[in-house]
Structure 1
Amino acid sequence: MRCASIIRMMNHFLTEEVFTNGVSKYLKEFEYQNAVQDDLWEHLNDEANTMQIVDLPATVKEVMDTWTLQTGYPVVNAMRDGQNVTVNQKRFLLDSTATEETPTYWYVPLNLVRSSNVAEFDSTNATVWLYPNASSVEFTLDQDDEWYIINAQQTGYYRVNYDEKNWEALNKTLSESHEVIHVINRAQILDDALNLARAGLLNYTIALSLTQYLGQEKSYIPWATTADNLSYLRRMLETSGKYEEYRAYILSLIKDVLARVGFEFPVLEDVPANGNYPDVTEVMYNELIWGTACQMGEPWCHGNATEQFRNWKGNYNQSAPDQALLNPNIKGLVYCEGVRSGTVEDWDFVYEHYNKTNYAAERTLLLAAMACTKESWLLNKYLYMLLDPVTNGIRSQDVSRAFAYIAANPIGRAEAFKFVKVNWDHLKESYGGGISALGRFISPFSNFNTQYELELLQTLKRENEGTLGSAARAMDQTIESVVINIEWMNKNFDAVVGWLEANNAGGRGISVL
């Protein structure tokens, strides 16, 4: 993703014409030959000099070396004073406790969109550059500009942090007329704000307030980036006594979406005969909303999903297990809800289907569904089936994936850790030879967020110091993640819960099944 994002950024600051011509000449010259990245930079630089339609701050090599030979990426800080906006850069560090011994800087392409001229969203070329030093640059706004956005259509590979007044103005615009802002920049605003808050660079009150407009949002990208970011809050809160506050707030966001005319639970008949959807992002949007609704226990979603599960089970053809009976976009959701609210018979039925299906993608959905149960004894049974995968019909390549699904279930988290501790020698013997196989039984515990859980991991490491082998790196990384989670809990738990309590009234009246 990083490589693709950097290439996209380069395409925009060079312009499409320069980039396309330069790449074409590079590919033609090095056809059937070896090349290094400097060869590409040279051809792009030559094309930029030849066409003279873009003004670069340095050679393409000098610009791109700051992006390809350094780790990380910057956060651009913007501060407004009257009509002037001062911009500087700093390396973005998600870990709020981390520091840099030597500051890292980049050549950063900048552009600005003003509230008085939203047509600037279509102008993605760089108008100003930050240089790889501690200097800053300035933009000038019109007097009547209520807000401004840096990085039109998020073509630059960096985050942006604004002054508090601009965040408030953006929040007001999202609430009152969100479509004025380009859809990609709506996603950017949410993604930047929530990541900046997690990194300790922005107050969570500001970041979470920006999400309140989402009930009006009909586009997939802003919802997807928000769901991805809020999943961290969910993981931090789901084993606490305050998870209900998170659940109620998410339900308050999606209730307006579910209430829209024509927004129905997907069925098999919705799939086009030729398989080609007019707008695939609409399909992804529906899948995301319904998936979130069921995960939060929304009754309408639960009822639809369990009804489809019963119909699938009732019409199941033993001789043709892969017969199409469900909309493929919500299969995983239906399987999961069926198991979550079902009986041991339903769990066994899903397990039997796992052993009959001919499709690897279907098996993955079923592995995840079997971990959706609320019964701890069933999760424990599932865990111990993994010790003898051949006998139990579970493919060896699916074992670590199934384990991760079980550990991701709050009910199964403690059982999963106990399983690893008790069966370490067996796991070491079976999976210790691979480069990262054994580590896959450690990494799922990176969601731990209490001192007690940290001590459990440290004890496991200490007791098996000499036998960690390929899991040593995963163990260290997991412990590091848990330390960061504990720091986050200490700094942000009360503030986040307090904000949720004050803003989730719209979801309190929705019963949970």
Structure 2
Amino acid sequence: KTEDLWAVLEKETGEPVKDLMTTWTKQKGYPVINAKIKGDDIEIEQAQFLLDGSSGSGMWIVPITSGCGAYDTQKKFLLKLKRDKMVIGSQCGDRKKGGNFWTKLNINGTGFYRVKYDDELAAALQNALETKKLSLMDKIGTVDDLYALSIARQQTFASLLRLLYGYRGEADYSVLSHINTVTTSIAKVSADATPALAGDIKQLLIKILLSPAE
């Protein structure tokens, strides 16, 4: 029986496997993890992600992974509450301007959740993208999260366009294919919502896609 399997896994891992699986199998949808930095901690809070932008009451037990300044400095955290915090100290790099600080939640997209970063974390992640620190899967996952959040009206399209500019010069076909899908969708949305700006947005997207690899 399924319950017996969960019991065995709980005994072996010491983690609440049954409760964790129940939160994922007994309710629809998945969470968005809101992350913001405060001192030496990253405060995280979960909410139900709904594409129409409305709020839901769902709550999950979420296994969170994070890359912290480098992929060989990873942290794992089990979010059991609506909100909690991860202690990072100086492990993620120097947070001073021009430093090497960055963190990426949901490493390589192995978890089933979206991530929304505060301004400081988003800027640091963009810098990691532009300086070629992110893996192929995280390049895709980063833009995929922000695109979904923009469609759900939880982030602005301006923030998405800023992120996309960080992909100029990208040479990997799978990343470019994903960027092309996102930019095509943005062009269609902008043509419907702001016809006067559609031409300028289209030219910006073309510039991003056609930028030569460095």
> Deviations 1:24-80 (Å, cap 9, x if unpaired)?
xxxxxxxxxxxxxxx34532542563xx3x342x1x332112112211110001110
Instruction: Work out whether residues 116 and 146 of structure 2, in 8 Å CA contact, stay in contact via their aligned partners in 1.
Output: yes
Equivalent residues in 2 for 1:106-185, closer than 5 Å: 106-115=60-69, 117-120=70-73, 127-131=76-80, 133-142=81-90, 144=94, 146-175=101-130, 177-178=131-132, 180-185=133-138
- Normalised to the residue count of structure 1, the TM-score between the two structures is 0.37
Counterpart-to-counterpart distance in 1, 2:2 and 2:170: 41
What amino acid does structure 2 have at the position aligned with 1:244? G
What amino acid does structure 2 have at the position aligned with 1:166? L
Q: 1:137 to 1:172 in 2, by over 3 A?
A: closer
User: In the alignment, which of 46, 54, 64 is matched to residue 8 of structure 2?
Assistant: 46
Equivalent residues in 2 for 1:258-407, closer than 5 Å: none
Task: Give the corresponding residue for 1:94.
Answer: 51
Equivalent residues in 2 for 1:197-208, closer than 5 Å: 197-208=150-161
Highest Rg: 1 or 2? 1
Structure 2 residue runs of 5 or longer lacking an equivalent are 96-100
Q: 1:41 to 1:256 in 2, by over 3 A?
A: farther
- Normalised to the residue count of structure 2, the TM-score between the two structures is 0.83
Give the 3-state SS of the residue equivalent to 1:119 in structure 2. Answer: coil
Give the 3-state SS of the residue equivalent to 1:242 in structure 2. Answer: helix
The Cα of 1:214 is off from its aligned counterpart by: 2.1
> Deviations 1:158-190 (Å, cap 9, x if unpaired)?
011111011112212222x12x11111111111
> Deviations 1:431-481 (Å, cap 9, x if unpaired)?
xxxxxxxxxxxxxxxxxxxxxxxxxxxxxxxxxxxxxxxxxxxxxxxxxxx
Higher helix share: 1
Counterpart-to-counterpart distance in 2, 1:224 and 1:81: 36
Structure 1 residue runs of 5 or longer lacking an equivalent are 1-38, 261-513
Task: Give the corresponding residue for 2:207.
Answer: 252
Instruction: Work out whether residues 46 and 59 of structure 2, in 8 Å CA contact, stay in contact via their aligned partners in 1.
Output: yes
Counterpart-to-counterpart distance in 1, 2:180 and 2:33: 24
Give the 3-state SS of the residue equivalent to 1:89 in structure 2. Answer: strand
Counterpart-to-counterpart distance in 2, 1:113 and 1:200: 27
Q: How many residues align?
A: 204
User: In the alignment, which of 152, 164, 180 is matched to residue 227 of structure 1?
Assistant: 180
Instruction: Work out whether residues 107 and 129 of structure 1, in 8 Å CA contact, stay in contact via their aligned partners in 2.
Output: yes
Q: RMSD between aligned alpha carbons?
A: 2.3
The Cα of 1:198 is off from its aligned counterpart by: 2.4
Q: 1:135 to 1:254 in 2, by over 3 A?
A: closer
Q: Which has the higher contact order (CA 8 A, sep 6+)?
A: 2
